[in-house]
Amino acid sequence: MRFLVITNLYAPYSKGGAERIAQTVAEELVQQGHTVRVLTTKPAFSGKRHDTINGVVVERYFPPNFCWYGNLGKLPAFLRILWHLKDMLNPFTYIRVKRAIRYANPDAVLTHNVKGIGYTIPRAIRQTGVRHIHTVHDVQLAIPSGLRIYGSEHSWQQEIFLRTWYETLCRWLFSSPDVVLFPSQFLQTFYTERGFFAKSKKITRQNPVTLTHPDPRERTSGDTLHVVYIGQMELHKGIVWFARVFAKWCAQNSPRARLFIFGAGTEFAALKKNYARHAHVQVRGPLAHDRVLTELQKADVVVVPSLCYENTPTVIFEAHAAGVPVMASRIGGIPEIMDERAGDLFFTPQHEQEAMLALEHFLKHPQIYTGSVGAHTAKEYVRKLIPLVADSVK
């Protein structure tokens, strides 16, 4: 079969889990003998327009706007509002997608996050009559930033008429793709309650991950506790808050413990500076995907301290596959993939005492994760994806 994958970011510009999932699915489709083209974005004046990555043909372009999506955070607030409006109604993207479909002649178009490439995409696909399967990764169709922050669910930013207009327009633009995949029940409920995808076939199916099952690190009481964070260094991810809590816990208790922070983002420089000489906190750069396993094998616990309503963070699946328990915020879709009976622990977002108690528990009670991983391998995921296309092809 032939597939066209549309995603706002793709390697080497990937930032988070959504882009990794799009790439994982595209490459697995190629592995199983299918033909795959990707349509994605690039900065205005740099980057390759055409590329081939692991058998996947990648076409990149800059959708005309005030800036590339990857630099959106650098715009002042009033320009960001105009950027979002132009992104939603970009006629250039509408034309470009229809042209890409004519050229690729796909059996199905698989869309992921399209913020920054254009919300006219679903209507362009409908015009061609090609099967459309959309994967939802976050709350971005209802909240422009894609961020719903704990404790601010009813803030003026959430209730302002501009946001509700945005949600209404997105609901109309996206209408009802043939199939919509939700990686968590949390996301499916979130969008169903808001009237999205009324006529679509809706399926809750966890995202694929590259799973390996190495021998987990065996730690005994008295050994140094290795806490690992792998993800974006952004305020909404909670790592700035957690690093501060961890440092405070260390100052109060002088434990044998270390926090290793891996990733990139707007808070990287500040974190690097603040903990440059800290005895218990080390701030590193981003990890190549093939190095994630290496760092997980050194970990005793992985921390996911999100302050925003997450979907199902890929790093949790990866930690479980490596036999590493997770301590995480009880928020969004995270509880759906955690297992306290198997070694995981929750804490309330931004609850300092609960986070410290979880750290104390892992310090005094070394353990490995004993539950199931729960996620699909890429091969299993694609095997279940093909029938959703084959039914329409017949």
Cβ atoms of 374 and 344 closer than 8 Å: no
- Token code pair at residue 67: 């800036």
pLDDT, tens digit, 9 for 90 and up, residues 170-216 = 999 999 999 999 999 999 999 999 999 999 999 999 888 765 666 66
CB burial of 341-374 (b: ≥16 within 10 Å; e: otherwise) equals eebbbbbebbeeebbbebbeebbeebbbbeeebb
- Token code pair at residue 145: 């930033």
Cβ atoms of 162 and 81 closer than 8 Å: yes
If we measure between CA atoms, which residue out of 98, 118, 117 comes closest to residue 4?
Answer: 98
Please give the domain boundaries of the chain with CATH numbers for all domains.
2-209+376-393 (3.40.50.2000), 225-364 (3.40.50.2000)
| pLDDT (0 to 100) of residue 215 | 62
| pLDDT (0 to 100) of residue 163 | 85
Q: Mapping DSSP to helix (H, G, I), strand (E, B) and coil, where does residue 303 land?
A: strand
Question: How is 123-156 classified by DSSP, letter by letter?
Answer: HHHHHHT-EEEEE--SSTTTSTTS--BTT-TTSH
Q: Count other Cβ atoms within 10 Å, centred on residue 160.
A: 11
Residue 80 identity: R
Q: Count other Cβ atoms within 10 Å, centred on residue 50.
A: 9
| pLDDT (0 to 100) of residue 268 | 94
| pLDDT (0 to 100) of residue 193 | 95
| pLDDT (0 to 100) of residue 393 | 45
Residue 362, H or E segment: helix 352-364
If we measure between CA atoms, which residue out of 192, 373, 363 comes closest to residue 280?
Answer: 363
Q: Mapping DSSP to helix (H, G, I), strand (E, B) and coil, where does residue 334 land?
A: helix
Q: Torsions phi, psi of 176, nearest 5?
A: -135, 90
Give the pLDDT means over successive 10-residue stretches in the chain (394 positions): 96 85 95 97 91 96 94 88 91 95 96 94 96 94 87 71 88 95 95 96 87 60 86 94 96 90 93 94 87 88 95 89 93 93 94 96 86 76 90 51
- For the question of whether the overall pTM of this predicted structure is more than 0.85, the answer is yes
